[in-house]
Amino acid sequence: EDLLANEEDFKTAFQYPENVYVLIDRVVAKEFDEDDIHRLGDSIGMAFYEGEGDVYIEVNGEKLLTFNNRFELDGIQFEEPSPNLFSFNNPYGACPTCEGFSMVLGIDEDLVIPNKLLSLHEGAVAPWKGEKLGLWRERFIKAARRFDFPVHAPIADLTAQQYKTLWEGNQFVEGIHDFFKEVEQNLYKVQYRVLLSRYRGRTKCPECGGSRLRKEALYVKVASKHIGELSDMPVKDLKVWFDEAVQSLSEFEKTVGKRVIIEIEHRIGTLLKVGLGYLTLNRLANSLSGGESQRIQLTRSLGSNLTNSLYILDEPSIGLHSRDTENLIKVLKELRDLGNTVLVVEHDEMMMREADYIVDMGPLASHLGGEVVAFGNYDELVANPESLTGKY
Ligand SMILES: [Zn+2]
């Protein structure tokens, strides 16, 4: 320890700047009382600030402990997790290769091998035919003897390893990927451009494996699963995982995560209630049926606790089992009890039985209808001789 009092001292010391430290505080190691803890807190905070994230603690003049407040391990510095990191709709979190679309334009395996019942020998690899390109197939078949590849077996019967070899090749022979690499080198010739365009298609992004997120987001795991794996689970399995994960939390963690846990439990619970437990969270909205997306909208509305709103639903129970319809009705009633109006176009008896008020449109379907035939609650409607619906 030295006091650098004048310019000369500074010059001497900074000949070896890596040996220069700033001393922030000295303490005697003992039982710390509250004042000590405050003082230590201040000193450590100041040390992190002045040291730009690095702090050294020297113990008894010999042991040097190093600390930093960066998010790093094994020399790799990680992104500090923030909500945006886990959103593929946000440029910060989206996988840079596919930009969050989960698919990239690449070689479509189903176009290259359209018929998985053919063997390599029978010409399963579609582009490997003809006088010149067929040589690729012949070369592979000839070389296959050296690494025990079943050239007469249907592609569908290959093991994962054999299928991989067919695509990636090995030390004896080149595979389909090598073939397309060569094609890409010859794109100045029009026939190769045509060839390539025939086999290009949307394929799963190789960088994120379809999870749409940058890999840093997938480094973050809760109960040993990352968010990509979780959104790949059907909601009913997710519920099981989540309940177990919450149980394994310490009391402290439960307190910290309380609000998030309640929110997630609520959302998962509502998805199950409206009969969507078979869906995975990464399903594309445009792949959902009308009934499914209506019910998802419902869970979202329930989550937002919106009041004084009018919900209009067109046959939301379509395709539901009666147990799920029951649950759906519960959800609709929850919406009502929050102070909303729910208007449902429906033919389902269970739904009508539970309605507060029914307007029966008729007398017959489509252009033969359009008049209000009857109205009232379920019992009134059944008693009304005008109502065709009531009779049923
Ligand atoms: Zn990607």
Reported as a single tens digit per residue, the pLDDT across 171-226 is 999 999 999 999 989 989 898 999 999 999 888 888 888 889 998 888 888 888 99
CA of 234 to the centre of ligand 1 (A): 21
CA of 84 to the centre of ligand 1 (A): 16
d(CA 65, CA 80): 24
Largest distance between two CA atoms of the chain: 109
State pLDDT tens for residues 128-139: 998 899 999 999
pLDDT band at 292 (very low <50, low <70, confident <90, very high): confident
Protein fold of 103-204: Helicase, Ruva Protein; domain 3 (1.10.8)
pLDDT, mean of residues 243-267:
91
CA of 213 to the centre of ligand 1 (A): 6
What does CATH list as the number for 233-346? 3.40.50.300
**Residue closest to 354 by CA, chosen among 387, 383, 379:** 379
Q: What is the pLDDT of residue 288?
A: 85
Beta bridge partners of 93: none
CA of 104 to the centre of ligand 1 (A): 7
Q: What is the pLDDT of residue 303?
A: 67
Query: What is the chain's mean pLDDT, rounded?
Result: 87
CA of 115 to the centre of ligand 1 (A): 27
Distance of CA 362 to the CA centre of its chain: 46
User: CA separation (Å) from 197 to 11, 108, 222?
Assistant: 68, 10, 42
Asked if 192 and 186 count as a contact pair (C-beta separation under 8 A), the reply is yes
AA identity, residue 46: M
Q: Where are the domains of the chain?
A: 7-69, 103-204, 233-346, 357-392
CA of 106 to the centre of ligand 1 (A): 12
CA of 165 to the centre of ligand 1 (A): 24
Ramachandran region of residue 148, left (φ > 0), alpha (ψ -120 to 50) or beta? left
CB atoms within 10 A of CB 144: 20
CA of 40 to the centre of ligand 1 (A): 46
d(CA 40, CA 67): 15
Helices 258-273 and 235-247 cross at an angle (nearest 10°) of 150
CA of 210 to the centre of ligand 1 (A): 6
The strand pair at 358-362 and 371-376 is best described as antiparallel
CA of 145 to the centre of ligand 1 (A): 37
pLDDT band at 80 (very low <50, low <70, confident <90, very high): confident
CA of 230 to the centre of ligand 1 (A): 17
Examine the pLDDT at 79 and tell me if it is beyond 80.
no
CA of 282 to the centre of ligand 1 (A): 14
Backbone angles phi, psi at 359, to 5 degrees: -110, 120
CA of 204 to the centre of ligand 1 (A): 8
CA of 94 to the centre of ligand 1 (A): 8
Asked if 205 and 103 count as a contact pair (C-beta separation under 8 A), the reply is yes
Using DSSP's 3-state secondary structure scheme, residue 23 falls into coil
Strand segments, DSSP code E, in the chain are 54-59, 63-68, 72-73, 76-77, 103-107, 200-204, 221-222, 225-226, 310-314, 341-345, 358-362, 371-376
CA of 209 to the centre of ligand 1 (A): 6
> Could you give the ipTM of this predicted complex?
0.98
CA of 218 to the centre of ligand 1 (A): 12
Query: Which tokens belong to 78?
Result: 């990680």
